[in-house]
Amino acid sequence: MKTLHELLAFWQTQAGKLGEQTLQHIGLTAASLLLGVLVGVPLGLWLTRRPRLAPWVLGAAGVLQTIPSIALLGFLIPLLGIGPGPAILALFLYSLLPIIRNTVAGVQGVPLAVVDAARGLGFTDGQLLRRVELPLALPVLMAGIRTAAVINVGVATLAAYVAAGGLGEFIFGGIALNNPVMILAGAIPAAALALAFDATLGGVQRLSGRKLVAVGRGLLVALPLLAGLYLLPRAAGKLLAGFSPEFIGRADGLPGLRQAYGLGRLPSVVLAPALVYEAARSANVDLIDGYSTDGRIKAYHLRVLHDDRHVFPPYFAAPVVRTGLLTEHPELRAVFGMLAGQLSDSVMTDLNYRVDYLHEEPKAVALAFLRRRGLWRAPRPLSAGAPVVKLGSKIFAEQYILAELYASLIRGYTALDVSTKTGLGGTTICFEALRSGAIDMYPEYSGTGLLVLLQPPPATVDSLGADAGAVFGYVRQQFRRRYQLEWLAPLGFNNTYALLMRRQQAQQLGISSISELSAYLK
C-alpha cells in the first residue's frame, strides 16, 4: 500500500511530464508501425509472387530482429544523430519480420480452390490479389501488425537513451537512482499502452469481410495521426540540455541545481551516459552533465561551468570492499592501499584522455601508469584452485582504468586470481552486486555514496557541506554500520559532477559559471 500511495503521488506531481512522455511513446510506436506496414506489407505481397526469395528476405529480417536494441541504436547514432530519427528507424526494422512473415503466410494460406475459381472467372494477377487474396489474408496480416505493435511499445522505452523521449525516461531514471516508484511510474503506463494496442488491433483482427477491409483502411489513416502526437509543441528555450538519467533525478544533480540556481527555464532531454559528450561535441545539445576529470573535456574543447554556489559535494574516489574479503585475505588491504593518494585530478584526467580520445586500451594505460610509478610487478604463477577476487566497475572509461590498476596489483603482489566484471551500468547495479557478493570490490565516489546510496536527511548533508574529509568519514562510518562494507583510503582525485558547454559557445555567450548560465536563461 505504501508503494501504491507513493506511486500515485509521483504520478500526480509529474502529471505534465507523464502526459508528454506518453504522447511521445504513442507517436514513436505509431510512426514506426506505419513505416512497417507501408514497407512490410508490399514486400510480403511481392514475395508471394517470388517464393524463392522469401527465405532470404525473411532471414535478413530475422537477423535484424536478433540485434540487441541498444546496439542497433548505438550503430544508428553516428548516421542519424540523436532524437527520434534513430529510434523510429530501429523500431521500424524490428517491426518488419512479423509483418512480412504474416503477410506471406496469410496470402499463401488462401485455399487453392478459391484462387483457381477466381482465375477461372478471368481475374488478372492484380485483381486476384486485391479482390481475393488480400481480403482473405487480412486476419493473418493483422496478427503480424498486432505483434509488431506490442514489440515496438516495449522497445520504444529505449528511445529515452537517444533523447527521443517516451516512458523510458522514468524507467531508466529509476534504475539509475534505485527508485522502484520511478521505475513503476514508467513501466506501468508502457505496459498499459502495449495492452491497449494489442486489444485494439485484436478487435480489428476479429472483424470479418467488408468491416475488416474498411477498418484496415481506417488504420492507415489513424497511424499518421497518432504518429503526429510526437510533433506536438514542446517546451523551448535559449539552450537545450542533454542529461543522463541519473543526473536528472539525483539531489546533487538537476534538482539541486534548479533549487540553488533557479534553472527552471532550461529544456532538457534524456541521453544515455555514454552519449552525452558526443551530443555536445556534435552540437545536438548545448549543455551536458559530466565529470570534472573526464578526458573528453579536453578532447572535445568543453568548458566546466564553475559551481559558485557549491551544489556538487566532494566526489573523492576510493575502493569499496566487502569486509569478508579483507577478513579472508588480509594482504589485500595493503595492495588496495598502494594507489592511495597516487592519482591527482590532473593525472586521472590524462589517463581518461588516453582512453576516451586516443582510444588506448584501459589495460595498457593502467600498466603504463604502474610502471611509471614503480608499482608494476609481473603476475605471480597461480596454483590450481587459487581464490578469485571479483572486481567490478561502472560503464565509463575511468572505472575501467581503475579496475585494471587493481587487477594488475593483485596479480603482481598476491597469489590470488582476478576476474573483472566491467561495465555493470549505474551506481545501483554495482552497489547491489557488491552487497550480494557477485563482486568483491568496485571504485566508488564519496558524493555518490552520500547522496545516492545513503540518502541522509537534508540537515545532515548541509552539516557536512563541502568538507571532503567530513563527507568521506561519514560515508565510511555509515557503510560499515549499515552494509558491512569498507571504504578504503581515497585515491587522491575529486571527480565531481560538472555542467559542461562547448568552449567556443560559452565564450560567445559570456558564460563561465552556473550563476551566469542562470542569468542568461532568465
For 136-190, write each residue's pLDDT tens digit: 888 888 889 999 999 999 888 888 888 888 888 888 878 777 678 888 888 899 9
- Give the tens place of pLDDT for each residue, 23-51: 889 989 999 999 999 999 999 989 988 88
Report the pLDDT averaged over residues 68-93.
83
**Residue 311 near residue 252, CB atoms below 8 Å:** yes
If you average pLDDT over every residue of the chain, what do you get?
A: 87
pLDDT, position 488: 95
The more confidently predicted of residues 102 and 79 is: 102
pLDDT, position 356: 85
pLDDT, position 330: 93
Report the pLDDT averaged over residues 267-292.
85
**Residue 261 near residue 309, CB atoms below 8 Å:** yes
The pLDDT of residue 235 is above 60: no
The pLDDT of residue 313 is above 90: no
The pLDDT of residue 232 is above 70: no
Report the pLDDT averaged over residues 99-112.
88
The pLDDT of residue 343 is above 70: yes
Grid cell for residue 209: 469481410
pLDDT, position 224: 83
The pLDDT of residue 274 is above 80: no
pLDDT, position 2: 63
Beta-sheet strand order (sheet of 388-392): 417-421, 388-392, 441-445, 317-322, 485-487
The pLDDT of residue 288 is above 90: yes
If phi > 0 it is left, if psi is from -120 to 50 it is alpha, else beta; for residue 513 that is beta
Q: What are phi and psi of 399, to 5 degrees?
A: -70, -40
**pLDDT category, 236, cuts 50, 70, 90?**
low
Can you tell me the distance from the alpha carbon of 498 to that of 257, in angstroms, rounded to the nearest whole number? 11
Can you tell me the distance from the alpha carbon of 270 to that of 252, in angstroms, rounded to the nearest whole number? 17
The pLDDT of residue 1 is above 70: no
Is the Cα dihedral 34, 38, 43, 49 positive or negative? positive
Minimum mean pLDDT among 212-221, 284-293, 511-520: which range?
212-221
Can you tell me the distance from the alpha carbon of 349 to that of 401, in angstroms, rounded to the nearest whole number? 11
Closest CA to 448 of 503, 515, 396: 396
Lookup result for grid cell 527508485: 179
The pLDDT of residue 487 is above 70: yes
Give the ranges where 49-167 is alpha helix by DSSP (H): 54-66, 69-80, 84-108, 112-120, 125-128, 134-155
Q: What are phi and psi of 352, to 5 degrees?
A: -65, -40
Minimum mean pLDDT among 4-18, 277-291, 309-323, 350-364: which range?
4-18
pLDDT, position 225: 82
pLDDT, position 298: 84
Q: 513: which DSSP letter? A: B
Minimum mean pLDDT among 6-10, 293-297, 330-334: which range?
6-10
% of the chain at pLDDT higher than 90:
38
pLDDT, position 305: 93
**pLDDT category, 276, cuts 50, 70, 90?**
confident
Grid cell for residue 398: 575511468
Tell me the β-bridge partners of 500. Answer: 288, 304
pLDDT, position 233: 58
Three-class secondary structure of residue 444 per DSSP = strand
The more confidently predicted of residues 411 and 247 is: 411
Minimum mean pLDDT among 2-16, 224-238, 453-467, 485-499: which range?
224-238
Length of the chain in terms of residues written: 522
Report the pLDDT averaged over residues 256-270.
84
What is the pTM (predicted TM-score) of this model? 0.71
Grid cell for residue 211: 468491416
**Residue 519 near residue 312, CB atoms below 8 Å:** no
Minimum mean pLDDT among 247-251, 332-336, 458-462: which range?
247-251
Report the pLDDT averaged over residues 398-417.
94
Grid cell for residue 521: 536563461
Report the pLDDT averaged over residues 441-470.
87
Report the pLDDT averaged over residues 75-97.
86
